Amino acid sequence: MTDRAQPDRVAWFRKMVEIRLFEEKVQELFMSGTIQGTTHLCQGQEAVSVGAITAMREGDVQTNTYRGHGEALALGMTPETAFAELMGKTTGCSGGVGGSMHLIDSSKGNLGANAIVGAGLPIAVGAAVSFQVQGRANVALTFFGDGATNIGTFHEALNMAAVWKAPVVFIIANNLYGEYSPLMTTTPIADLARRADPYAFPGIVVDGQDVDMVHAATVDAVERARRGEGPTLLEMKTYRYRGHSRSDPAKYRPDGELDAWKGRDPIEILGAKLASEGVLSAADQAAIRQELQAGIDAAADRAAAAPYPTLEETERYVYA
Ligand SMILES: Cc1ncc(C[n+]2csc(CCOP(=O)(O)OP(=O)(O)O)c2C)c(N)n1
Ligand SMILES: [Mg+2]
């Protein structure tokens, strides 16, 4: 793993575009039947994945959710490996038996996605406590949604992390919706960061569309944890462009809401900054998109050409 503490905003731009294009292709492959099952896209939330993951250092770990393609790619999983997993191929990160909701690579600090809402939080606290026991100056991050803050494990994990000053950073991707429920119908407060208050550690609201803000807030939280000062709850205000999962047309959203959020697109926000700073012109950005699109298409083709596991291989993971 490389040292991600050095800000390389062109690399961030590239990674956010890669995630966006990867998921565009995933949607296409679902529609054509090449990918089966289900998938949960994180389009619109790329700055949360990239800004936070790039605050990690060698030996740090994270857990995430079924909406975790962004974190997996930001941690260095190749699109080919991720496509292969989604397609159920042996070259996938879990040999093709996990699928979209189970992208994992512990060699890169990715302790995995979890399909159970809220289940990744206690795993991250456990990893953080293991760092304390081993005397390692490492930190565990955990990504989850706004809906997960109403799950029991959220409160148990925050409480335990607070009492033990565990080096963990809790990251809410608040995209305003649970599966189909607007946050305001399930939750009595608007700023979920306040849910750190009863556990007596900092809870911070962050503009989740601005990767610079996400990164800066996560670096602060990670360094605080590394100093032994305990956990932080970061609430990233963001939005998912697509429905909850592949089969959800998201008709429950008010007219104009999606367009308003697309007006603050995370890739465009960083792209505009890089252009005005003279770092990356609009033409450079278009060339990057073209290059990455070719890479994504080729990666999907290679994944599609890989073999499916044999019956014996799939049975190896079944307890009987
Ligand atoms: C314990 C549990 N309860 C319910 C579900 C069904 N479910 C899957 S995703 C989801 C919504 C979670 O919303 P949020 O935490 O905001 O995450 P988002 O999908 O918006 O990223 C629900 C209720 C589940 N997977 N696990
Ligand atoms: Mg949500």
234-260 per-position pLDDT tens digit:
999 999 999 999 889 999 999 999 999
pLDDT at 286 exceeding the cut of 50 = yes
Residue extents of the structural domains in the chain? 9-315
Question: What span, in angstroms and rounded, lies between the C-alpha atoms of 78 and 93?
Answer: 10
The confidence band for 1, taking pLDDT boundaries of 50, 70 and 90, is: very low
Ligand nearest to the CA of 237: 2
- Please give the share of the chain, as a percent, with pLDDT higher than 70: 98
Question: What span, in angstroms and rounded, lies between the C-alpha atoms of 139 and 141?
Answer: 7
Q: How far is the CA of 240 from the centre of ligand 1 (A)?
A: 14
Whole-number average pLDDT of the chain? 96
- Residue 161: its pLDDT value, please? 98
Mean pLDDT value of segment 286-313 = 97
Tokens of 68: 């975790």
The confidence band for 4, taking pLDDT boundaries of 50, 70 and 90, is: very low
Residue with the bigger pLDDT between 214 and 318: it is 214
- Residue 6: its pLDDT value, please? 53
In this structure, are residues 26 and 35 in contact, taking their beta carbons and an 8 Å threshold? Answer: yes
Task: Write out pLDDT tens, residues 40-91.
Answer: 999 999 999 999 999 999 999 999 999 999 999 999 999 999 999 999 999 9
Q: How far is the CA of 141 from the centre of ligand 1 (A)?
A: 19
Mutational pocket test of ligand 1: of 179, 240, 241, 245, the residue with most ligand atoms within 8 Å of the beta carbon: 179
What's the angle, vertex CA 84, arms to CA 265 and CA 290, rounded to 5? Answer: 40
Q: Whose CA is nearest to atom 23 of ligand 1?
A: 179
pTM value is: 0.97
Tokens of 198: 């009863």
- Residue 169: its pLDDT value, please? 99
Instruction: Answer yes or no: is the C-beta of 115 below 6 A from any ligand 1 atom.
Output: yes
Mutational pocket test of ligand 1: of 42, 102, 117, the residue with most ligand atoms within 8 Å of the beta carbon: 117
Residue 232's contacts (CB-CB under 8 Å, 6 or more residues apart) are 169, 170, 196, 201, 202, 203, 204, 220, 221, 224, 225
Task: Write out pLDDT tens, residues 8-25.
Answer: 999 999 999 999 999 999
- Residue 318: its pLDDT value, please? 87
Q: What angle separates helix 211-226 from helix 266-276, to the nearest 10 degrees?
A: 100
Residue with the bigger pLDDT between 36 and 6: it is 36
Q: Whose CA is nearest to atom 9 of ligand 1?
A: 179
Ligand nearest to the CA of 145: 1
Q: How far is the CA of 72 from the centre of ligand 2 (A)?
A: 18
- Per CATH, which fold does 9-315 belong to? Rossmann fold (3.40.50)
Mean pLDDT value of segment 196-204 = 98
Task: Write out pLDDT tens, residues 100-155.
Answer: 999 999 999 999 999 999 999 999 999 999 999 999 999 999 999 999 999 999 99
pLDDT at 26 exceeding the cut of 90 = yes
DSSP 136: -
The confidence band for 317, taking pLDDT boundaries of 50, 70 and 90, is: confident
- Residue 246: its pLDDT value, please? 84
Mean pLDDT value of segment 168-186 = 97
Ligand nearest to the CA of 121: 1
Q: Whose CA is nearest to atom 4 of ligand 1?
A: 117
For ligand 2, a single-atom ion, which residues have Cβ within 5 Å?
145-146, 175, 177
Q: How far is the CA of 117 from the centre of ligand 1 (A)?
A: 5
- Residue 144: its pLDDT value, please? 98
